[in-house]
């Protein structure tokens, strides 16, 4: 059921989310940080469902940044176990609902069991067409851009691109997000107002929606609020208001 506040003809095709506030939410309950992450999985499930129902075609979630390796070992191990368990528990539902799972970031550096469950889920869901769920894992945008530059340097060396002829599309095709349209909407939870090394290139024209809600409490109504906020913006892409009419 679509909300009355939403215009179904103006749904962003790609929404990216910085899921933040798991630790603070858990602390406020007198629990440890992993309790916050575990509860965040329900928010992932509900947000994916809401996005699919509204007709969003790509949903990118910042699940583990390259900077997150600096966290306590027990938290990192807990997060990785949660990821494997979540994929195991949700795979049937992803298949029933036409969800294609892909990843961005260097997943080769994750623990072996994570790599295997991700690869299995990606393979089993690769032909699904309803919505693409993109998990950013061991991801940071600067790292992604550097890896893309190295790929381009290799192409120049091989004579596929002339030096001085690198175009925007070459870089876009070398990024982990190749063939994915740029996000039109970025949501960040927990009252933080930063981009935190997430999709720096791809967010060039994205609308930003910040909410104070901690990620474990993020529900369908909050997602709908973010879409309504997006729909209230005038997207000018550098033009004047008058040029748009
Ligand atoms: C940020 O909160 C959250 C993370 C770094 C991890 C997000 C992971 C999940 C929601 C669970 C697993 C995900 C999937 C896709 C199954 P924080 O720990 O930085 O919170 P804080 O800022 O309050 O400390």
Tell whether 176 is covered by a domain: no
Which residue is listed with tokens 């799972």? 101
Beta pairing class for 14-18 and 185-188:
parallel
Burial of 145 (0-12, 13-18, 19+ CB in 10 A): middle
Q: What's residue 4's pLDDT?
A: 66
185-206: pLDDT as tens digits: 999 999 999 999 999 999 999 9
Rounded-to-integer distance, Cα 52 and Cα 129, Å: 11
Q: Is the dihedral of CA 203, 204, 208, 214 positive or negative?
A: positive
Tell whether 87 is covered by a domain: yes
Tell whether 168 is covered by a domain: no
Q: Would you name the residues annotated as active-site residues?
A: 20, 68
Tell whether 21 is covered by a domain: yes
Tell whether 219 is covered by a domain: yes
Q: What value does the mean pLDDT take over residues 133-151? A: 98
Tell whether 95 is covered by a domain: yes
Ligand 1 site, CB within 6 A: 19-24, 33, 37, 40-41, 44, 61, 63, 68, 82-83, 86, 135, 190, 215
Tell whether 170 is covered by a domain: no
Count of domains forming the chain? 1
Q: Which of 19, 24, 197 for a ligand 1 pocket mutation test, highest count of atoms within 8 Å of Cβ? A: 19
Q: How far is the CA of 68 from the centre of ligand 1 (A)?
A: 10
Which residue is listed with tokens 């992450």? 37
Measured by CA distance, the residue closest to atom 24 of ligand 1 is: 23
Host domain of residue 83:
12-140+182-232
Q: How far is the CA of 187 from the centre of ligand 1 (A)?
A: 14
**What CATH number does the domain containing 196 carry?**
3.40.1180.10
57-114: pLDDT as tens digits: 999 999 999 999 999 999 999 999 999 999 999 999 999 999 999 999 999 999 999 9
Q: Which of 22, 72, 99 for a ligand 1 pocket mutation test, highest count of atoms within 8 Å of Cβ? A: 22
Q: What's residue 2's pLDDT?
A: 53
Q: How far is the CA of 124 from the centre of ligand 1 (A)?
A: 25
Tell whether 175 is covered by a domain: no
The pTM assigned to this predicted structure is: 0.94
């Amino acid at each position: 059921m679509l909300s009355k506040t939403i215009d179904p003809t103006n749904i962003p095709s790609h929404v990216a989310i910085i899921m933040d506030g798991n630790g603070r939410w858990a602390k406020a309950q007198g629990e440890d940080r992993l309790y916050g992450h575990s509860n965040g999985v329900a928010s992932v499930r509900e947000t994916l469902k809401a996005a699919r129902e509204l007709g969003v075609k790509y949903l990118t979630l910042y699940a583990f940044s390259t900077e997150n390796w600096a966290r306590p070992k027990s938290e990192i191990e807990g997060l990785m176990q949660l990821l494997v368990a979540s994929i195991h528990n949700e795979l049937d539902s992803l298949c029933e609902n036409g969800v294609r799972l892909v990843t961005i970031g260097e997943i080769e550096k994750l623990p072996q069991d994570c790599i295997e469950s991700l690869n299995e889920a990606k393979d089993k869901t690769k032909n699904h067409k309803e919505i693409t769920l993109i998990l950013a894992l061991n991801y940071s945008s600067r790292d992604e851009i550097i890896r893309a530059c190295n790929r381009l340097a290799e192409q120049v060396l091989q004579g596929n691109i002339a030096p001085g002829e690198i175009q925007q599309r070459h870089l876009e095709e070398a990024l982990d997000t190749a063939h994915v349209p740029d996000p039109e909407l970025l949501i960040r939870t927990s009252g933080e107002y930063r981009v935190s090394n997430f999709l720096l290139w791809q967010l060039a024209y994205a609308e930003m929606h910040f909410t104070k809600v901690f990620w474990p409490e993020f529900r369908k109504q909050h997602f709908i609020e973010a879409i309504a906020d997006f729909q209230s913006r005038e997207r000018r892409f550098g033009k004047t208001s008058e040029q748009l009419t």
